[in-house]
Structure 1
Amino acid sequence: MFWICGTRCIGTDFAHARSAPTVIDIATRPGVTQRFLYIAPDSPKAAVILYAGGHGGLQLDLYGTFDWGQGNFLVRTRQIFGSNGLAVAVIDAPSDRQSAPFLIGFRLSAEHAADGKAVIAWMREHAEVPVWLVGTSRGTQSVAAIAIALANGGGLTSTILRDDRRGSPVTSMNLSTLKIPVLVVHHRDDACRYCPVSETSGLMEKLTGSSYDGLMIVSGGNAKGDPCEAFSYHGFNGVEGEVVHAIAEWIAAH
């Protein structure tokens, strides 16, 4: 892992097409700001907003350093998304959720959707390309909830299909209302008890209104440690580049 340094910007006067990672703060709700790390290649073909799993509190500082979540699949592959021609926003918890439990119990809220809407608007203005939401593990709860609220296309990796914590499995959400493209990516050997690959077919069956949905089952790589953590099959350890490239190709085709 390496640390990124960038320039902090506030508001929407940031000149687009800069390739250096940059920390952005934008106003979302009264008295609340949303911070994210922005990476943009020259002439991006699309933009992705990345929602990490776990509690989601990356605690991104002004210099682009993450205090938590450096190993998360979407956080550690942010530059790979950029090298595949995508503008990238790596989302932290908003300013009013910067302590425990961070995004736990918040991902399905109207406030979270409002924060997401503001980031989408910023990305559309500055990248000037279609914007996609991408979540992994508990980040799939954020993406599904925001997509339902705002009707933006999205991708779900290692989707939460069961939940006994403070949240809801993605399959319990009103997925049939989604009219936009949805891609589901899952590792064949994901052993996390919340994400059984055997239940992905049930997830796909609920996407009845999607203009295009796809299921991508990944194999290969290697697993280390807790099966629900980032360096197991759950986090696509060892096949990150292939997975991100496949996601980028799917986005480009839709």
Structure 2
Amino acid sequence: MKIIHIIIAIGLLISTTAYSQVFDVPYKDDAPTRTLLTPVKNAKAVVLLFPGGGGVLNLQDDGSTTNGHTFVRSKDLWAQYGIDSVLVDTPYDLGAGLRNSRSIRDHQQRILNVVTYYKEKLNLPVWVFGHSMGTVSVTEFVNGGKEKEKLIAGVIVAGTYRSATVDSDVTLPVLAIHHLNDSCGSTPLVSSERIIEGRSNKLTSQFIQIEGGISEGDVCGSRAYHGFNQKESEFVKSAAQFILKN
């Protein structure tokens, strides 16, 4: 009987999930912004995923990548919640720390193009989700004015970089996720706490701490607690439930 249940579960997953597909979002006369859409039948929302580090996934034409980022490892987990996921690549290294290029006009325009592209393509609520340095990308975007804010349904940050902030006049739902044992010096727990604590009680906000998993290699890497290693299911579930509630 258990085998039958497993087969049914696999069949349901296959029936609701389509194959991932690469879409290149045009950008002026420069290299396009490559994205990887993992769609689900009758999706309720779409989440755009902005990884940390230099941001380069180097997505190939078939959607493959050697990058083991948290978002790459968990991209198929969104389907069970009826949410399309989109990995957002970059044609150039965005740098890290104070030398990052995530607030410059070029990068922010690329984000705007990707948001607009998927809003028009899928006609679904669009959420932006940044991890680590990717939190700078999404918070800078949402702080960019009411016209940008109107395009998205909400913002999620995880393993928040210390300089990332959300302006007080941003009224969108905001979720912050952090691993309790994240020991990366650039992403202290207080970075995520501060974003939520600084918002009005009248606004929709939530702070979630995750424990457990394993930590391997660089403490600021995706295989460390910072990258929610072996906690990807809880990581995605927390974000997905917030999206579906709001």
TM bracket, shorter-chain basis: 0.7 to 0.9
SS in 2 for 1:176: coil
Give the match's secondary structure for 2:207: strand
For the pair shown, the structure with the greater C-alpha radius of gyration is 2
Match of 1:46 in 2: 45
Could you tell me which residue of structure 1 aligns to residue 233 of structure 2?
Answer: 241
Distance 1:80 1:116, change over 3 A: same
2 CA distance for matches of 1:58 and 1:194? Answer: 21
Q: Does 1:219 align with 2:215?
A: no
Q: SS at the partner of 1:142? A: helix
Q: 1:54 aligns to what SS in structure 2? A: coil
Matches within 5 A, 1:1-254: 19-67=18-66, 69=67, 71-94=68-91, 97=92, 102-104=93-95, 105-149=100-144, 150-151=148-149, 152=152, 153-161=154-162, 169-171=163-165, 175-208=167-200, 211-254=203-246
Residue ranges of structure 1 left out of the alignment (5+ in a row): 1-16, 162-168
Deviation at 1:218, TM superposition (A): 0.9
Q: TM-score, normalised by structure 2?
A: 0.83
| Structure with higher helix content | 2
Shift of residue 137 of structure 1?
A: 0.6
Query: Does 133-142 or 211-220 show the bigger shift?
Result: 211-220
Letter in 2 for 1:89: V
Q: Distance in 1 between matches of 2:227 and 2:61?
A: 27
1:54 to partner: Cα distance: 0.5
1:62 maps to a residue whose letter is D
More deviation, 223-232/23-32: 23-32
Secondary structure class of the residue paired with 1:20:
coil
SS in 1 for 2:94: coil
Counterparts of 1:81 and 1:211, CA distance in 2: 25
- Whole-Å Cα distance in 1 between the matches of residues 136 and 200 of structure 2? 18
Q: TM-score, normalised by structure 1?
A: 0.81
Q: Which amino acid letter does the alignment assign opposite residue 128 of structure 1?
A: N
Specify every segment of 5 or more residues in structure 2 that has no aligned partner in the other structure, as ranges. 1-15
- Report how many residues are paired: 221
* Structure 1 residue 18 displacement after superposition: 7.8
What's the % identity of the aligned pairs?
A: 28
Question: For residues 60-110 of structure 1, what are the alpha-carbon distances to aligned partners after superposition, in whole Å with 9 as ceiling and x for unaligned?
Answer: 12121224x2x211121111123321111101104xx2xxxx112321112
Amino acid across the alignment from 2:54: H
Structure 1 moving runs of 4+ over 6 Å:
none
Give the conservation status (yes or no) of the 8 Å contact 1:177–1:209.
Answer: no
- Give the RMSD, CA atoms, in angstroms: 1.9
